[in-house]
């Protein structure tokens, strides 16, 4: 009888501790993501400061070219598969020099459909507003053209491997929900924060310029 009581108590304690441990692990992973995005933001600002305020090529697929190194990679059509998108060839690599800074700890080969991605080097994407989306502006726009609160990096929605075809995205291509109904993003001003998914998709649906749709030379930011 006493053994059953002990087992019951242990079961109750486990039921109380497991959710707390899960939340603690999620917070730790969130901290890593925040640090990664801070590093990407730092690299963005260092690149712009050395390039007359010009931002790097966003690796928008439509304009990718072997002679055009982007923030994430320099596209190499001479090879097949994910090797076309090596972070060591991107303009941020001399600053960051660590491939783990490009990946969320919860992302990788263990994630369903990861192998279907063309680009497997980064969990994060740059806002295609940097090159005017399908306008593919080259050179890219200047950092000073964007408001500090405009969003430059976020985590791609891992449920759709087709969104990992390059290093940039439209806001309508979504954001990862791996962080407990919220998403982590970085702004052009260098701030990194957590945003509830409901707020993210409210901005995504708006028909006016906002921090997500932020191309500066159109009324609706698109």
**Tokens encoding 213:** 């749709």
Q: Which residue has the tokens 């680009």?
A: 119
User: Do 216 and 146 form a contact (C-beta atoms < 8 A)?
Assistant: yes
In order, the DSSP letters of 105-169 are TT-STTSTTGGG-S--S-SEEEEGGGGTGGG--SSPPBGGGS-TTSEEEEE--TT-GGG-SSSEE
pLDDT in tens, the chain (222 residues): 665 555 555 556 445 544 544 455 566 778 999 999 999 999 999 999 999 999 999 999 999 999 999 999 999 999 999 999 999 999 999 999 999 999 999 999 999 999 999 999 999 999 999 999 999 999 999 999 999 999 999 999 999 999 999 999 999 999 999 988 889 999 999 999 999 999 999 999 999 999 999 999 999 999
Is the CA virtual torsion 98, 92, 166, 145 positive or negative?
Answer: positive
Task: Kindly state the helix (H) or strand (E) to which residue 28 belongs, with its residue range.
Answer: helix 2-49
pTM over 0.85: yes
């Amino acid at each position: 009888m006493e053994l059953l009581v002990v087992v019951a108590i242990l079961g109750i304690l486990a039921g109380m501790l497991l959710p707390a441990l899960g939340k603690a692990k999620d917070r730790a992973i969130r901290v890593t993501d925040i640090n990664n995005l801070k590093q990407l933001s730092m690299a963005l600002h260092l690149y712009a400061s050395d390039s007359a305020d010009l931002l790097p090529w966003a690796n928008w697929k439509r304009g990718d070219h072997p002679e055009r190194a982007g923030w994430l990679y320099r596209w190499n059509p001479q090879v097949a598969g994910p090797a076309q998108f090596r972070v060591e060839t991107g303009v941020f690599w001399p600053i960051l020099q660590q491939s783990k800074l490009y990946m969320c700890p919860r992302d990788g080969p263990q994630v369903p459909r990861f192998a279907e991605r063309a680009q497997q080097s980064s969990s994060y994407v740059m806002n295609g507003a940097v090159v005017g989306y399908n306008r593919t502006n080259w050179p890219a726009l200047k950092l000073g053209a964007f408001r500090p609160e405009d969003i430059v990096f976020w985590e791609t929605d891992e449920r759709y491997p087709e969104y990992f075809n390059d290093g940039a995205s439209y806001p309508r291509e979504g954001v990862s929900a791996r962080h407990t109904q919220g998403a982590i993003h970085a702004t052009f001003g260098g701030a990194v924060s957590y945003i509830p998914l409901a707020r993210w998709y409210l901005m995504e649906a708006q028909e006016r310029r906002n921090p997500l749709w932020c191309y500066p030379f159109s009324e609706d930011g698109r």
